């Protein structure tokens, strides 16, 4: 009986140790525009969506250490992140700079807001097919250069149909932005056989959330057609961090 008890205790101890070691450590590179960068926030380093996403993930008991790099750039489109650009090189440099090379490397991508503009940002307006081709080119290169990495495409966010600052968006831009969403989903579906469990759709809920809660969660900004809503305020950035964090952790739980 004594030997049996010892054996059971050893098995439980081994199981506990194994469970602890199974917690994945994570490195995340966030790719995006001014929303990712943290425009309109007083302290982007701690308040921008990448920081609030990581704050959420650090509270999850199933995860290990988490490190991240915010590669959000104000005004940037998918064209600015294409392979061969300086921006893409900096994304890869950020991914290579993480100290823990055994951690799960995640590229969290949210692009499309500036692509959808009528006029202003690089290449805008970006047609839906061109948008899909661009994000595919970005994903393909990252998958090749980082064979153990995964990519998560977060859906772009709603903005008010009178948005017109240095760039012109308006209802036409919002309609174009919404046309990108099913193309993100179909692109991810296309990787299911060629790159299984490497490319995922992340958050899809924040678009509707910000449309409904823009008065409380987006910053009012003066534009050429009145007050518009585009960038999350501190409350909105915290909410977006939860949306992204939940999506990322759901993917990790199901696949890693």
The Cα–Cα gap between 59 and 62 comes to 9
Q: What is the mean pLDDT of residues 84-113?
A: 99
CA 171 distance to own-chain centroid? 24
Phi, psi of 108 (to 5 degrees): -100, 115
In a domain, 13, yes or no: no
Flag whether pLDDT at 19 surpasses 50: no
Q: What is the CATH number of the domain that holds 218?
A: 3.40.50.1110
DSSP strand pairing (66-72 vs 104-110)? unpaired
Confidence label for 5 from pLDDT (cuts 50, 70 and 90): low
In a domain, 206, yes or no: yes
Q: What is the mean pLDDT of residues 121-149?
A: 99
In a domain, 96, yes or no: yes
In a domain, 121, yes or no: yes
Flag whether pLDDT at 18 surpasses 50: no
Per residue in 151-166, pLDDT tens? 999 999 999 999 999 9
The Cα–Cα gap between 23 and 117 comes to 42
How high is the pLDDT of residue 6?
A: 53
Query: Which range marks the domain in which residue 94 is found?
Result: 25-255
The Cα–Cα gap between 36 and 110 comes to 8
Flag whether pLDDT at 4 surpasses 60: no
Higher pLDDT: 19 or 182? It is 182
By CB atoms closer than 10 A (0-12, 13-18, 19+), residue 165 is: middle
Q: What's the pTM value of the predicted model, to 2 decimals?
A: 0.92
Average pLDDT over the chain, rounded to whole?
A: 95
Work out the number of other CB atoms within 10 angstroms of the CB of residue 234: 18
Cα separation values, 109 from 31, 41, 53, 69, 163, Å = 5, 20, 13, 12, 23
The Cα–Cα gap between 30 and 32 comes to 7
How high is the pLDDT of residue 3?
A: 56
Confidence label for 88 from pLDDT (cuts 50, 70 and 90): very high
Helix (H) or strand (E) holding 91: helix 86-96
In a domain, 15, yes or no: no
Confidence label for 2 from pLDDT (cuts 50, 70 and 90): low
In 21-164, DSSP assigns E strands to 26-32, 66-72, 104-110, 150-153
Q: What is the mean pLDDT of residues 113-123?
A: 98
Q: What is the mean pLDDT of residues 83-110?
A: 99
In a domain, 3, yes or no: no
Flag whether pLDDT at 40 surpasses 70: yes
Q: What is the mean pLDDT of residues 28-53?
A: 98
Indicate the number of domains in the chain.
1
The mean-pLDDT minimum among 1-10, 54-63, 180-189, 196-205 falls in 1-10
Flag whether pLDDT at 20 surpasses 90: no
In a domain, 20, yes or no: no
Contact of 112 with 156, CB cutoff 8 Å: yes
Confidence label for 22 from pLDDT (cuts 50, 70 and 90): confident
In a domain, 235, yes or no: yes
């Amino acid at each position: 009986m004594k030997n049996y008890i010892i054996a059971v205790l050893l098995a439980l101890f081994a199981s506990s140790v194994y469970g602890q070691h199974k917690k994945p450590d994570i490195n995340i590179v966030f790719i995006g525009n001014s929303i990712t960068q943290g425009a309109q926030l007083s302290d982007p380093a701690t308040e921008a969506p990448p920081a609030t996403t990581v704050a959420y993930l650090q509270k999850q008991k199933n995860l290990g250490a988490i490190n991240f790099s915010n590669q959000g750039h104000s005004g940037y489109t998918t064209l600015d992140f294409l392979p061969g650009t300086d921006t893409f090189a900096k994304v890869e440099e950020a991914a290579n700079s993480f100290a823990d090379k055994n951690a799960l490397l995640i590229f969290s991508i949210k692009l499309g807001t500036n692509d959808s503009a009528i006029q202003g940002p690089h290449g805008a307006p970006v047609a839906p097919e061109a948008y899909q081709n661009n994000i595919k080119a970005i994903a393909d290169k990252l998958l090749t250069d980082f064979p153990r990495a995964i990519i998560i495409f977060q859906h772009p966010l709603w903005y008010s149909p009178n948005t017109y600052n240095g760039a012109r968006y308006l209802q036409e831009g919002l309609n174009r932005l919404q046309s990108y969403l099913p193309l993100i989903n179909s692109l991810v579906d296309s990787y299911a056989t060629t790159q299984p469990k490497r490319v995922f759709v992340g958050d899809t809920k924040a678009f509707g959330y910000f449309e409904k809660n823009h008065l409380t969660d987006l910053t009012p900004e003066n534009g050429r057609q009145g007050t518009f809503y585009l960038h999350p305020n501190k409350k909105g950035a915290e909410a977006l961090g939860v949306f992204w964090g939940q999506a990322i952790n759901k993917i990790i739980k199901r696949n890693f």
